[in-house]
Amino acid sequence: MVLARREQFDEAVGAYRKALRLNPTLASVQFNLGVACLKAGRARDAVLAFHAFLKKHPQEMRAHTLLGMALVDSGEFVAAIEELELAHRAAPQDPSILFPLAVAHSRSGDPSRAAALLDQLRIAAPGNPRVGLLLGLVLLREGKFEDARRELEQVRTADPGNAAALAALGRLHLRENRDLEAIPLFRDALKRNSQDAESTYQLGVLLDRNGEGLEGEKLLRRALELRAGYADPMYHLAKARFRDKRFKEALTLLQEAARILPGQEAIRLLLARTHQALGNTPAAQAEFAAVRKLKASVVERDRARVDGEQVLIP
């Protein structure tokens, strides 16, 4: 059923693109193209379509909401927050905005804001099972493993086939370094939702580090197919290439990953080491300098806290 619907949306994407080629000024078709891309799992294409629509209709809040959802799906959480906060100010109690906005804040490392939005969501949409799922993920990100387990197990008990709950429990076991318990949960989740890029990536990492490198690499590549511009699997594939002394291949992957996530210290450090291994001394020195700057920035942010709240630093 999921596959059939996805194929139907793929057909709709083709039809809307054909209509736009015939008449590029049809804003409603541009909007519908974005919706079809989003439902077809083509988040980056949806982002482009909604951006094009909003150039002509910048006040259309539904388009800002859907753009934010597409940005969440493509892993661009900071940009997603900007769009969704704009829509949230216009409709503070709209559950369709509250949920993706809470997801974006949780994924961007702001669990306090995510929890506050979840409290609003409980009032706006009482009994919504997605609230328990997201609360479990927020608790997981805060390191409250037992509280997270309780919330996630409640979701799974209510719906044993819930792919998102299975994947979240897999992440919980992953955080607890219980790889052998996490692996079957991710496999089970992917049987129910084969389009989940993050679970595909995480299972690939788990298999790679537990002696199943061939299947692990296959899954990491699959994650890149599912989500364009997904830097995490690029980094892990690059680590494998570096380990095998295939430095040029590692360099290509790392340069793209660093372009997508320039503030990710681990990526920049491995990029520096790869340049060093290839004898690219000036490039290596520049990357090592960037790593030092990132470390200093983290220290500065850690110091800029007042009563437990982070102060924004220009």
How does 188-221 read in b/e, with b if 16+ C-beta sit within 10 Å? bbbeeeeebbbbbbbbbbbbbeeebeeebbebbe
Residue 41: pLDDT band with limits 50, 70, 90: confident
The pTM score is 0.68
pLDDT in tens, 221-267: 999 988 878 899 999 999 999 999 999 999 999 999 999 888 889 99
pLDDT value of residue 311: 31
- Residue pair 164/133 in contact by the 8 Å Cβ criterion: yes
Residue 7: pLDDT band with limits 50, 70, 90: low
pLDDT at 177 over 90: yes
pLDDT at 312 over 50: no
Q: For the beta carbon of residue 147, count every other beta carbon within 10 angstroms.
A: 15
Residue 74: pLDDT band with limits 50, 70, 90: confident
Higher pLDDT, 293 or 298: 293
- Residue pair 121/98 in contact by the 8 Å Cβ criterion: yes
Helix (H, G, I), strand (E, B) or coil at 278: coil
pLDDT value of residue 308: 37
pLDDT value of residue 8: 74
* Closest C-alpha among 247, 269, 308 to residue 110: 308
Q: For the beta carbon of residue 34, count every other beta carbon within 10 angstroms.
A: 28
For residue 249, which phi and psi values (nearest 5 degrees)?
-65, -40
pLDDT in tens, 188-221: 999 999 989 999 999 999 999 999 989 999 999 9
pLDDT at 306 over 60: no
* Closest C-alpha among 213, 215, 216, 233 to residue 225: 233
pLDDT value of residue 93: 86
What value does the mean pLDDT of the chain take? Answer: 86
Query: What are 309's strand-pairing partners?
Result: 306
Higher pLDDT, 227 or 52: 52
Q: Extract the tokens encoding 186.
A: 């991710």
Residue 310: pLDDT band with limits 50, 70, 90: very low
Query: Helix, strand, coil % (nearest 5) of the chain?
Result: 80, 0, 20
pLDDT at 157 over 80: yes
Burial of 45 (0-12, 13-18, 19+ CB in 10 A): buried
pLDDT in tens, 80-138: 999 999 999 999 988 889 889 988 988 887 888 888 888 888 887 777 777 888 888 88
pLDDT value of residue 4: 35
Fold of the domain spanning 1-58 = 1.25.40
pLDDT value of residue 261: 85
pLDDT value of residue 106: 83
Alpha-carbon distance of 293 to 285, in angstroms, equals 12
pLDDT at 12 over 50: yes
pLDDT value of residue 176: 93
Share of the chain above pLDDT 90, in %: 54
Torsion sign, CA atoms 120, 155, 71, 30: negative
Alpha-carbon distance of 112 to 202, in angstroms, equals 25
The domain segmentation of the chain, as residue ranges, is: 1-58, 253-314
